[in-house]
Every structure is written in C-alpha cells, then in structure tokens.
Amino acid sequence: MSKREKLIQKILKGNSEITPGEARKILESFGDAAEGPAGGSSHLTFRKANRPSVTIVLTQNPLKPYMVAKIQAVLKFERY
C-alpha cells in the first residue's frame, strides 16, 4: 500500500491527527488548486471544478474535526 493510500485510509477512519501538510498533499493529489489571500493569511482554500471548496488553517495542527470531515467529503466525491 502506498503512502498516499495509507493517508487516505487514515483520513477516512476519522483520525483527528491529520496535519495541514498531509491535508494539502491529499487535496493537491486530486488536482485541487490552493489559493490564499495576498495578505499572508494562514488559511488556504482548495478548489476544483464541480466540487465544494475546502478551507484549511495551516497553523491548526492537528486539523479540527470539521476540517477533516470536509476532506472526507472530498474523498467520497472522488469515490474512495
């Protein structure tokens, strides 16, 4: 099993120990584009056509459960 697959399984299990870096890797692997405000905010919004956007806080380590739930929704949308 690849590192990506292990990380996907970790997220789908509802593990709350997901770091912002792990979330970024997964979302970018599905083709999401990261956008952040020009003012240097700690928030990043990941967008992809025909799917709701996901915002994560880079300084929140580990991610809050509601952020993990949004990433789980993306994985379900991508048929995982």
Residue 25 reports pLDDT greater than 90: yes
Q: How many domains does the chain have?
A: 1
Cα–Cα distance for residue pair 37/43, rounded to 1 Å:
8
- In the prediction, which pLDDT does 68 show? 93
Which run of H or E residues covers position 46?
strand 43-48
In angstroms, the Cα distances linking 72 to 38, 39, 43, 57, 69 are 28, 29, 19, 16, 5
- In the prediction, which pLDDT does 67 show? 92
Residues spanned by the domain of 7: 3-35+42-77
Task: Render pLDDT for 26-75 as a digit per residue (tens, 0 to 9).
Answer: 999 999 999 988 887 889 999 999 988 999 998 989 999 999 999 999 99
Residue 16 reports pLDDT greater than 80: no
Residue 1 reports pLDDT greater than 90: no
